């Protein structure tokens, strides 16, 4: 693959921006159920387990689509593929806005997840082809920043929309947004510059690549770390955080949604910062270790110390987001541990593991809440105590402890030197 230019053009920036907006859009949709939790439980007359399953359906299809997404983009190009999958995602959003029961909502989330699974790989496809190599890391970081902005939009701004018009009207607005985005991508995205060449490289067979990637112990150690460090984002920030904070810290839903913004701000700021720190000191492992340690400490205080001062709570949530940015550094670790022609498969596998956290932890935490439920109700919706939330959310400090152990004793320090042929 070759990028024969070192000039960054306005056209390139515009095309990458339009394509990356899908990444922000899917993050908005990904975290939306957290703000809607009580409204959805009331509308569908469901318990925490079923709510976690409804939300988790997004991650089932999202996870599956990680591997084939890259193959389809390589074969058909970003303009066609992204236009189709954004349209699919948008139709899922419309179906969700019209849902009157848990089954329809689950199918809608499955459809949304299937389309959303192409967002990150689609952004990477365009960045690699349109952006000169010396700006690649910057634009990948900017794409991550856009995703965090999308997640922020799915917190307090969405809560305000719900308060004024209800969750179904809010989802319909997101459907209209998706229609506009589909049209923009179809009109303006181009697969590559005219002078760009796709050059044949050393491309081993898929089976050979998978054996090399999955046969490496480092692949699995890195995957375990990635799974553990990102779990608080999909389990807490994307779903159970707002219901927990309304109980544990006596916050209104809007105040809790505002607090959640600080987690995503932590990710947005931390992702480029941890990469810069790692490159500057030429070390991979100790930034991963520090990220896991501060994540464990901040998570334990947030979960086990109710009624925190609001400013302290915001700071702790910001630190928790900084910790989660460790998952962005693991892609550099993957690059260091794999030959260049294996890196795509290795990244795809690792990203699949990362997003699987939502499929696992969202319904699992809901199940624990229901198993410990005391029978209390509020407006016909199950009411869970602070202690019950603390018990269910104990899963998060446990996996963060695993992240510390793996990064300290199992992930190999590469000193930022890629694996050579």
Q: What is the pLDDT of residues 173-183, one digit of tens each?
A: 999 999 999 99
Over residues 294-298, the mean pLDDT reads 98
Instruction: Tell me what pLDDT residue 213 has.
Output: 80
Cα-Cα-Cα-Cα dihedral of 254, 256, 259, 261, to 10°? -60
Over residues 4-30, the mean pLDDT reads 87
State the pLDDT confidence band at 67, using cuts at 50, 70 and 90: confident
C-alpha to C-alpha distance for 13 and 101, rounded to whole angstroms: 42
Q: Output the pTM of the full model.
A: 0.83
What are the sequence ranges of the domains in the chain?
1-193, 206-421
Lowest-pLDDT choice from 116-120, 270-274, 293-297, 359-363? 270-274
Shared fold status for 1-193 and 206-421 = yes
Instruction: Tell me what pLDDT residue 202 has.
Output: 54
Over residues 95-101, the mean pLDDT reads 96
Q: 10 Å Cβ neighbour count for 193?
A: 16
- Give the highest mean pLDDT range of 134-143, 266-275, 328-337: 266-275
Give me the percent of the chain exceeding a pLDDT of 70. 93
Q: What are phi and psi of 420, to 5 degrees?
A: -105, 150
Instruction: Tell me what pLDDT residue 261 has.
Output: 93
CA atoms within 13 A on the CB side of 395: 26
Q: Which sign does the torsion angle of CA 294, 299, 305, 310 carry? A: positive
pLDDT exceeds cutoff 90 at 87: yes
CATH architecture observed for domain 206-421: Up-down Bundle (1.20)
Better-scored residue on pLDDT, 413 or 133:
413
> Is the CB of residue 244 less than 8 Å from the CB of residue 259?
no
**Which positions ≥6 away from 167 have C-beta within 8 Å?**
36, 39, 40, 43
State the pLDDT confidence band at 321, using cuts at 50, 70 and 90: very high
Give me the percent of the chain exceeding a pLDDT of 90. 59
pLDDT exceeds cutoff 90 at 102: yes
Q: CA separation (Å) from 67 to 136, 213, 216?
A: 22, 13, 18
CA atoms within 13 A on the CB side of 278: 29
Dihedral-angle region of residue 203 (phi above 0 means left; psi in -120 to 50 means alpha; beta otherwise): beta
pLDDT exceeds cutoff 70 at 19: yes
212-238 residue pLDDT tens: 888 889 999 999 999 999 999 999 998
Instruction: Tell me what pLDDT residue 96 has.
Output: 97
Over residues 236-259, the mean pLDDT reads 93
Instruction: Tell me what pLDDT residue 196 has.
Output: 60
Instruction: Tell me what pLDDT residue 1 has.
Output: 43
Fold for 1-193, please state it.
Growth Hormone; Chain: A; (1.20.1250)
Over residues 78-92, the mean pLDDT reads 96
Instruction: Tell me what pLDDT residue 200 has.
Output: 47
Over residues 349-374, the mean pLDDT reads 92
C-alpha to C-alpha distance for 128 and 197, rounded to whole angstroms: 12
Q: Which of 229, 234, 276, 246 is nearest to 62 (CA)?
A: 234
Over residues 263-285, the mean pLDDT reads 87
């Amino acid at each position: 693959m070759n990028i024969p230019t070192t000039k960054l053009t306005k056209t390139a920036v515009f095309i990458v921006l339009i394509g990356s907006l899908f990444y922000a859009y899917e993050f908005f949709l990904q975290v939306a159920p957290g703000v809607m939790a009580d409204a959805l439980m009331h509308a569908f007359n469901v318990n925490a387990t079923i709510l976690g399953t409804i939300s988790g359906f997004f991650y089932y299809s999202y996870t599956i689509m990680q591997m084939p997404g890259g193959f389809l983009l390589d074969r058909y190009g970003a303009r066609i593929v992204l236009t189709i999958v954004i349209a699919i995602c948008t139709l899922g959003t419309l179906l969700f806005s019209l849902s009157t029961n848990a089954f329809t909502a689950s199918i809608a989330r499955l459809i949304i997840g299937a389309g959303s699974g192409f967002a990150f790989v689609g952004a990477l496809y365009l960045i690699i082809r349109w952006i000169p190599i010396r700006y690649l890391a910057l634009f990948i970081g900017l794409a991550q920043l856009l995703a965090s902005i999308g997640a922020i939009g799915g917190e307090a701004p969405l809560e305000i929309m719900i308060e004024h018009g209800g969750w179904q009207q809010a989802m319909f607005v997101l459907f209209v947004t998706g229609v506009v985005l589909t049209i923009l991508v179809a009109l303006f995205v181009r697969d590559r510059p005219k002078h760009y060449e796709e050059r044949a490289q050393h491309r081993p067979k898929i089976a050979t690549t998978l054996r090399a990637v999955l046969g490496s112990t480092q692949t699995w150690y890195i995957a375990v770390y990635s799974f553990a460090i990102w779990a608080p984002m999909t389990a807490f920030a994307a779903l159970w955080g707002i219901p927990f904070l309304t109980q544990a810290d006596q916050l209104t839903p809007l105040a809790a949604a505002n607090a959640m913004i600080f987690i995503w701000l932590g990710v947005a700021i931390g992702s480029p910062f941890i990469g810069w720190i790692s490159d500057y000191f030429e070390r991979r492992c100790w930034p991963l270790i520090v990220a896991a340690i501060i994540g464990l400490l901040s998570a334990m205080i947030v979960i086990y110390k109710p009624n925190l001062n609001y400013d302290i709570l915001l700071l702790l949530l910001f630190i928790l987001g900084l910790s989660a940015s460790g998952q962005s550094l693991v892609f550099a670790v993957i690059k260091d541990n794999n030959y260049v022609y294996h890196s795509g498969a290795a990244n795809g596998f690792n990203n699949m593991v990362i997003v699987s956290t939502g499929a696992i932890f969202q319904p699992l935490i809901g199940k624990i809440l229901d198993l410990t439920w005391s029978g209390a109700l509020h407006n016909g919706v199950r009411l869970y105590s602070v202690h019950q939330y603390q018990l269910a959310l104990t899963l998060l400090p446990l996996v963060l402890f695993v992240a510390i152990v793996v990064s300290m004793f199992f992930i190999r320090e590469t000193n930022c030197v890629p694996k050579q042929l």
